[in-house]
Amino acid sequence: MKKIIILAESGADIPLDLATVHNIQVIPMHVIMGDSSYLDGSIPVTEVYDYYKKTKKIPSTSATNPEEFHLLFKKIKDENPGCIILHIGYTSKASCAYQNALIASEGMGDIYHVDSLNVTGGQGAIVLRAAEIIEKHPNIMITNLIEEIQDYVARARVSFIPGDLAYLRAGGRVSNAAYLGGTLLQIKPLIEIIDGKLISTQKFRGKMVSVADKYMKEYIKRYNFDKEQLYLIYSLGLDESIKHNMEGIAKEEGFRKIIWIQAGCVITSHSGPGAIGIAGFEKVSSK
């Protein structure tokens, strides 16, 4: 059987140790600050915060371009003759990265694509599940693997609460009036990823320490999650006590494995410091 190699964009925020263990190839997206463009992962997240403090602007982000995808596809093929490349991409509803990967693979054989319809820990959860399937079933046919992955895409439930509304305002995602009202009333929007799109579905009020508890309990209750594992997402700057409480709630709810995912520069540019999120899969409904 041909070796299957998984590829994902850096916006999946797959922890480096897990990417290494599962031999997942990660291709960087771009973070742009002023006249300088950086590969996601090549600079510390704190530089995003420093840039905002200095300029009151958030960095802009851009997708991996077709040439970058093509060069990596060729490199993987050269180093692994006869392999199959499976690209599990950043949602096509929020970035052109997926389309760029399709363009880059034209004329190249044994390259397959799955739109994760997700970002950060949601995409990461799907990628890691795909790696686990391959390891458990090394002789799996690529068509069967893709079918299984698409089932997980359909069952993925992902949401997050931005850490700082100032980043949403600076990025033009909320008005100045909404920012001022939200700040004064300590309102924090819940962003859910629905059909690949980021949609604000609910608002919480209060400090993050109390909001995190309520959000965790309500979100887990809303969906019939598979208790095998849960992915908890955060951006640098989140208080350690909040992380401790979130993990405690997940354990109380019966999740057997908890994986923490830290947002990289691309995601942090939109969420700001101290953001929190949850990613998991709903159980297969019984017929």
- State whether 103 and 166 are in the same domain: no
- State whether 30 and 96 are in the same domain: yes
Of the candidates 13, 38, 60, 283, the one whose C-alpha atom is nearest the C-alpha of residue 160 is 13
- State whether 8 and 149 are in the same domain: yes
- State whether 162 and 140 are in the same domain: no
Residue 23 has pLDDT above 90, yes or no: yes
The pair of structure tokens assigned to 27 is 């291709």
188, part of any domain: yes
286, part of any domain: no
Instruction: Judge whether 49 and 271 are in contact, CB under 8 Å.
Output: no
254, part of any domain: yes
The pair of structure tokens assigned to 138 is 């090394």
- State whether 147 and 165 are in the same domain: no
Tell me the pLDDT of the chain averaged across its residues: 91
The larger pLDDT score, comparing residue 120 to residue 163, is at 120
43, part of any domain: yes
| Domain limit, last residue, from 154, 174, 200 | 154
- Residue 190, domain CATH: 3.30.1180.10
Pair type for strands 111-115 and 84-89:
parallel
Pair type for strands 84-89 and 276-281:
unpaired
- State whether 198 and 171 are in the same domain: yes
Per-residue confidence (pLDDT) for residue 170, from 0 to 100 = 53
- State whether 95 and 213 are in the same domain: no
Per-residue confidence (pLDDT) for residue 184, from 0 to 100 = 38
How many DSSP H helices and E strands does the chain contain? 11, 13
Per-residue confidence (pLDDT) for residue 172, from 0 to 100 = 47
- State whether 10 and 133 are in the same domain: yes
| Domain limit, last residue, from 154, 178, 193 | 154
The pair of structure tokens assigned to 192 is 């859910």
- Mean pLDDT over 210-232 rounds to 94
Using 50, 70 and 90 to split pLDDT, how confident is the model at 158?
A: very high
Instruction: Judge whether 6 and 134 are in contact, CB under 8 Å.
Output: yes
3-state secondary structure of 138: coil
Range(s) of the domain holding residue 262 = 156-281
- State whether 115 and 180 are in the same domain: no
Look at the chain and count its residues. Answer: 287
Residue 207 has pLDDT above 80, yes or no: yes
- State whether 171 and 246 are in the same domain: yes
Q: Can you give the pTM of this predicted structure?
A: 0.93
- Residue 142, domain CATH: 3.40.50.10170
How many domains does the chain contain in total?
2
The set of residues, in sequence order, having a beta carbon less than 8 Å from that of 92 and lying 6+ positions away, is 98, 99, 115, 117, 196
76, part of any domain: yes
- State whether 204 and 260 are in the same domain: yes
Per-residue confidence (pLDDT) for residue 195, from 0 to 100 = 93
The larger pLDDT score, comparing residue 190 to residue 241, is at 241
Per-residue confidence (pLDDT) for residue 3, from 0 to 100 = 96
The larger pLDDT score, comparing residue 50 to residue 188, is at 50
Say which range, 12-26, 84-98, 186-200, has the weakest mean pLDDT: 186-200
- State whether 179 and 272 are in the same domain: yes
Tell me the percentage of the chain whose pLDDT exceeds 70: 91
The set of residues, in sequence order, having a beta carbon less than 8 Å from that of 216 and lying 6+ positions away, is 246, 249, 250, 278
